[in-house]
Amino acid sequence: MLTRFSVKPLHSMTRSLAAVAMGREAPDLVITGARLLSTYTERIHEGKEIWLKSGRIAAVKAAGAHASFKLPKKRVVDVAGGIVAPGLVDPHVHIESSMMSACAYAEGALLNGTTTIFCDSHEIGNVCDAKGIEWMLEDARQAPLSIFLTVPSTVPATSPEFETAGGDLTAAKIGKLFDKWPEAVALGEKMDFVQVAMGDKRSHAILAEALKRGRPVCGHIYGREFVAAGAASGITDTHEAIDRDIAEDFLEAGVWIFLRGGPPTTPWHSLPLAIKAVTELGANPKRVCVCTDDRDADDLFLFGMDWVTREAVKAGMKPVTAWSMGSLHPATRYAKDGEIGGLGHGRRADIVLLNDALEVQNTWFGGELVVKGRKVTPLLDRALSKRYRYPRAAYNTVKLAKKAVALTPPVPTRAVSANVIRTALPGIILFHEKISVPAVKSWAEIFAQQDLCFVTVVERHGKSGEVAHGLLKDFGLKDGAVASSVGHDAHNIIIAGSNEEDMRLALETLKKLHGGVCVVRGGKVLASVALPIAGLLSDKRATAVAKETTALKKAWSELGCTLPYMGFNLIPLSVIPEIRITDKGLVLVPQMKHVPLFE
């Protein structure tokens, strides 16, 4: 069903567009007085105007060419020499990381000039299986944003031996998603890269579902030794190029690289190092894109795709090339460049107005003005107030065991060695260390000697009820507890704390909220964000979630936590080296081997 923001297929509009282009019919809207940023030739053209018809670009003309039509003033927008460019296309994003629905996510995206995203909804898939993916797709269809799905490929991220997840996306289920949903355009990041390299049957059966349908396959590879096997298995992009050398390996293997730009205090800012494959080694950027990957609610407003393109400029790229890396290149990667990514004739009228610093001033989505002067227009405001309502089942996913369990390990009765998780910024890789633990009467004595705290994972899908204990080193938390139901990727509850009482309050708080993130100290909840949809998403508008997130970050920092909470949420992600903790216990990666807490 077409909505106000829908654009008819090109094949149904060619006669009308041709008539406008030839001057036989008047355009619906003219954007004039522009410097036009061409992503096709990477040039900026002075004195241009764009003629729009039914949400598409009919023609690009010399400024003033519309005068013969004598259009009313409301149908002519003079941008007074501003830069007009195509809307940005984010090739890899997880909507769930924003902690809000797709309908709500659209607000921050459009304010930052992003008009199309390719999302991998493996988070909700890990909790709610295929039905969760379909809920997200229904949500996306109602959103005032072009949203495509890269079908989650690795749910669960590892075998049941290593974690308990709520979902299990088999090859057959993935094939059905491809066949049912036209928005499903690619296979999402294949996170089990070790299993792919080792020829795991399940992993390769899932790859086959995409490849036999001619769908591209997205990757997730850590370690240069895995690049060849991944590429040979059909993987043709990655957002995990974390430095110059592996970025070059990917490009030479025929793999697109998505340079991940994020707030420098988070794990998501690998762009400055990886872009050196272009700026230092001379690689051509034609198969290089920029992406966001993960953004929480307030960071979405501050560090969107426009910010990432500006970071590419700071790292040495020409402004027009950087903008192309955020628009035409991603569109080309997914074979959508005939529809988006440039200001060519017949393309969707997804257009942004920029100042000389590449800061977004206005956004037109399908020819409709949705952002003006960096503010949401009344038209978009009305659309954002009508968000998709998730079904009741989505609000009932935190299912804890009825029997109370200990959230901290017993104090060793004799001297032992402990396998601990050492954190270090940026926080993606966690380090495995062994420390000596003397025989003492309380954990407080041990914690006073070293920068340690507890870390516990509690299964929350109503299956095993398992609880695993560990120790975090250099996390900085001295008093209190933090907890999250966004524990990648199985999304069991992860808790870090200094004492059993505050950790239990944190767990009970998340149970009452039906999922979320919270900060506790001295028996009081200092801050929380409720995420009742699958324990991952708020059902509020983006601005409200952003305000709650800002308060949460403040309280998080006051407890001394060195990792931001988005990095904290990765601690159970047992596909990234060196050591992780899931509800099944401590796991060494990539060996995929369990180790005990004490030896």
301-323 per-position pLDDT tens digit? 999 999 999 999 999 999 999 99
Backbone angles phi, psi at 500, to 5 degrees: -60, -40
The pLDDT of residue 532 is: 98
Q: How far is CA 182 from each of CA 128, 137, 144, 151, 361, rounded to the nearest angstrom?
A: 21, 10, 18, 11, 32
3-state secondary structure of 102: helix
Number of compact structural domains in the chain: 1
Residue 558 CB neighbour total at 10 angstroms: 13
- Residue 29 tokens read as 């809207």
pLDDT in tens, 198-234: 999 999 999 999 999 999 999 999 889 999 999 999 9
Is residue 138 in a domain? no
Task: Classify strands 585-589 and 288-291 as parallel, antiparallel or unpaired.
Answer: unpaired
Residue whose pair of structure tokens reads 């040495």 in the numeric block: 316
Tell me if 39 sits within 8 A of 342, measured CB to CB.
yes
What is the gyration radius of the CA atoms in the chain, in angstroms?
Answer: 25
- Say what the pLDDT of residue 1 is: 34
Please indicate, yes or no, if residue 73 is contained in any of the structural domains.
Answer: no
Q: How far is C-alpha 389 from the geometric centre of its chain's CA atoms? A: 21
CA-wise closest residue to 581 among 422, 401, 417: 422
What 3-state DSSP class applies to 131? Answer: helix
Cα torsion 326, 356, 361, 108: sign: positive
Strands (E) in 168-262, as ranges, are 184-190, 217-219, 235-238, 256-260
Give the strand pairing for 368-372 and 375-376.
antiparallel
What is the largest distance, in Å, between two alpha-carbon atoms of the chain? Answer: 91
What whole-number distance in Å separates Cα of residue 368 and Cα of residue 251? Answer: 38
| SS3 category, 283 | coil
- Residue 413, in any domain of the structure: yes
Alpha-carbon dihedral of residues 579, 259, 165, 500, nearest 10 degrees? Answer: 50
Give the bridge partners for 273, in sequence order.
none
Bridge partner residues of 256 (DSSP): 237
- How far is the CA of 422 from the CAs of 439, 452, 458, in angstroms? 22, 9, 20
Q: Are 574 and 580 in contact (CB under 8 A)?
A: yes
In contact, 341 and 39? CB cutoff 8 Å: yes
Q: Is residue 430 part of a domain?
A: yes
Size of the chain in residues = 599
Residue 590, pLDDT score: 86
- Considering only CA atoms, which of 232, 233, 231, 280 is closest in space to residue 257? 231
Give the 3-state secondary structure of 287-343. Answer: HEEEECECCCHHHHHHCCHHHHHHHHHHCCCCHHHHHHHCCHHHHHHCCCCCCCCCC
Here the tokens at position 458 are: 């509690």
Q: What is the pLDDT of residue 157?
A: 86
**And the tokens for 543?**
């601005």
What parts of the chain have a pLDDT lower than 50? 1-2
pTM metric for this prediction: 0.94
> Does some domain include residue 553?
yes
Q: Pairing state of beta strands 56-62 and 43-53?
A: antiparallel
Residue 500 lies in a domain: yes
C-beta neighbour count of 283 within 10 angstroms = 20
Measure CA 356 to chain center.
28
Residue 402, helix vs strand vs coil = coil
pLDDT given at position 3: 58
Is the residue at 563 inside a domain?
Answer: yes
Structural domain range at position 527: 395-595
